[in-house]
Amino acid sequence: MAELAGKVAIITGGASGIGESAARLFVAEGAKVVVADMQHERGMALAEELGDAALFEPVEVRQEAQVKAAVDRAVDTWGRLDCMFNNAGFGGVLGPIEDVPVEDFDMTVDVLLRGVFLGMKHAVPVMKKQGSGSIINTGSIAGVTAGRGPIVYSAAKAAVIHLSKSASMELGEHSIRVNSICPGYIATPLAANTVGRPDSLIEDRLADYEGRQPIPRVGRPLDIAEMALFLASDRSTFVTGQALVVDGGAATGVMWSDQKDFYKTYRPIRVYNPDTA
């Protein structure tokens, strides 16, 4: 039986990368999906390819009216909303903190945090009325450990994780689950800096991704989509308030390959024993 049969989902940033992979997987598992994205041509092409199970809605997640329109369209078309996957994002402003322009800081936080907040704000009333729902927010390992991304991006992703945890406490009594997924280094247009360009360019850069985590293969969008499928499905009805890290072990600790040279020369310190001193 399809995992998401009868369910309706909205996926922001759904036209490429993780969002596209999730849209394809959700539809394959029986869901109806609103692909919400700024990339009109790509989003429309994906929705057309997925057929009657999908539709495209132009959404820039900083714009409240557009986010609300995506929720309204899902409900008007299919009568419900079971999953809100707030996935849209970008790398945001770069550079040392003293050089960050305030307007670029604001734009980064608006996309990464305000966009998640708006998706939750407009999905919750529908889900409360139904008495159920799953909200999935895309965090990052940059939000759980320092030094994994640009400073403002990292702070915003940490806020997304805590917003998700806090909202889960508020919404649990309505059987609405709120979780975040924290990807590691995943081969997406965002990570490869190829947004708006052919996906073949991502493949050209895959060699740079290998060996960055204990599991040496390249992280793929499907790795994150599979976790989103679990969280959207009825298999996770007792899971809420969690930040689920999907990173091949990157944020767990220091890789063995970076430790083993130390252990070649390491000599254990003898424990003092008064009987043999």
DSSP 130-157: HT-EEEEEE--GGGTSTTSS-HHHHHHH
Residue among 106, 22, 8 nearest 62 (CA): 106
pLDDT of res. 51: 98
pLDDT of res. 208: 64
Q: How many CA atoms lie within 13 A of 235 on its CB side?
A: 12
Q: Which of 157, 168, 180, 185 is labelled catalytic?
A: 157
pLDDT of res. 269: 60
Please state the rounded mean pLDDT for residues 42-46.
Answer: 98
Residue among 34, 140, 10, 29 nearest 83 (CA): 10
Is residue 193 over pLDDT 60? Answer: no
Determine which of 44-53, 133-142, 194-203 has the lowest per-residue pLDDT on average.
194-203
- Show the tokens assigned to 72: 């309204």
pLDDT of res. 212: 75
140 in active site: yes
Determine which of 23-32, 55-64, 110-119, 216-225 has the lowest per-residue pLDDT on average.
216-225
Is residue 164 over pLDDT 80? Answer: yes
pLDDT of res. 192: 54
Instruction: Enumerate residues 6+ apart whose C-beta is below 8 A from 133.
Output: 81, 82, 83, 84, 123, 124, 126, 127, 174, 175, 176, 177
266 in active site: no
Please state the rounded mean pLDDT for residues 142-161.
Answer: 96
Q: Which of 134, 140, 233, 236 is labelled catalytic?
A: 140
- Cα 170 to chain centroid distance, Å, stands at 21
- Show the tokens assigned to 253: 């600790």
Is residue 258 over pLDDT 60? Answer: yes
Please state the rounded mean pLDDT for residues 260-276.
Answer: 64
pLDDT of res. 255: 75
Percent of the chain with pLDDT over 70: 85
Is residue 260 over pLDDT 80? Answer: no
The verdict on domain 8-265 having CATH code 3.40.50.720 is yes
**First and final C-alpha spacing in the chain:** 69
Give the separation between CA 246 and CA 228, rounded to whole angstroms: 11
Determine which of 91-95, 127-131, 214-218 has the lowest per-residue pLDDT on average.
214-218
Q: How confident is the model at residue 86 (pLDDT cuts 50, 70, 90)?
A: very high
What is the sign, positive or negative, of the torsion defined by CA atoms of 15, 9, 24, 215? positive
Q: Which of 21, 134, 153, 154 is labelled catalytic?
A: 153
Please state the rounded mean pLDDT for residues 197-222.
Answer: 73
Is residue 116 over pLDDT 90? Answer: yes
Phi, psi for residue 216 in degrees, rounded to 5 = -80, -10
Residue among 69, 65, 82, 85 nearest 23 (CA): 85
Is residue 95 over pLDDT 90? Answer: yes
pLDDT of res. 31: 98
pLDDT of res. 257: 76
Domain-by-domain residue ranges, the chain?
Answer: 8-265
Is residue 205 over pLDDT 70? Answer: no
What is the sign, positive or negative, of the torsion defined by CA atoms of 86, 91, 97, 99? negative
Is residue 107 over pLDDT 60? Answer: yes
Is residue 59 over pLDDT 70? Answer: yes
pTM score above 0.75: yes
